[in-house]
Structure 1
């Protein structure tokens, strides 16, 4: 995967994660990039057999053609929704990108941060609702935890304009040019000092995302 961005998107195949995926394909994914979908299931949520070998390290990378197959995904007790699969097939064809799925089992917050380091990801996009099917089984917000502990640039995509995401650190999420908090701009970008410079987004690229959101906000108020 050397030479291209490795973009991660946390998914649970809900409407929230689908919106995060759409945002990533529209704003981040470029021709030739690699897209890694990260999904986290509860511990033990798999059929007996080879799945047990992957509980600690996560599954192998599953190509798009395979996780589009209901028979294969039944082993993982997963059923990707048709809308997400259609979006992925379209972007894979149009932008000639590699799309894979990696499944983890355990605490979504910890496993997503683990994926960032182990894959490793150039950046991550996540919905502000976390991973819906298991969110009641864990404490706190998945996206909050990942933003504060992940070692790559993180973008959090809001599910709804009527449900604003609360900033936990106003300074970290303030855009220096517009002076607006990034939560007001419908996304977060957390740049961590411990991040590898070679995988960092440029400020020009981040500002491009912000400008696009500012234009959308202006249109909403006009």
Structure 2
């Protein structure tokens, strides 16, 4: 009887850093095994912001909410389709893709816990201390709150 695969959850959004983290993960954890024979089950999670977090409570009319929601759904579909296509191009077809609504920090930690993940992979935007203080750091939050190993993949800086 074959051993059950460990679970790897990876966060995906529409950024270059996220795409790089997915590419790096596939190249290092899946390609050496021939894609689907890797020891991990891959779950890609996209955190779709809630309409209220995007629009805020600054007096936007109710008529704009369905438009914003439709745009957020289109973006989620674009991100997940792009991730699936990229996995297929790397011969990894045994992939589960999920879209969960909420803040990326909470969504990724919850997904890792729900799937009993061994590893949570997140990309790093490389924000400085000031931006990180205002925007928060998904990778920092996950590293401290997730109940599994967290791997932060940093895109190399380009040399000028």
Return the structure number with greater strand share. 2
| Cα distance in 1 between the residues matched to 2:72 and 2:152 | 30
Match for residue 111 of structure 1?
107
SS in 2 for 1:12: coil
Q: Tell me: CA distance 1:156–1:75, structure 2 relative to 1, closer, same or farther (3 Å).
A: closer
1:140 has 2:136 as partner: yes
In structure 2, the gaps of 5 or more residues are 53-69
Deviations 1:159-186 (A, max 9, x none): 2336xxxxxxxxxxxxxxxxxxxxxxxx
| Cα distance in 2 between the residues matched to 1:36 and 1:81 | 11
| Cα distance in 1 between the residues matched to 2:154 and 2:28 | 15
How many pairs align? 127
In structure 1, the gaps of 5 or more residues are 46-72, 163-222
Match for residue 80 of structure 1?
79
Q: Tell me: CA distance 1:102–1:86, structure 2 relative to 1, closer, same or farther (3 Å).
A: closer
Which structure has more relative contact order (CA 8 Å, sep 6+)? It is: 2
Conserved in 2, the CA contact under 8 Å of 1:13 and 1:81? no
Q: How does 1:13-28 map to 2 (within 5 A)?
A: 13-28=14-29
Q: TM-score, normalised by structure 2?
A: 0.65
| Cα distance in 2 between the residues matched to 1:8 and 1:108 | 13
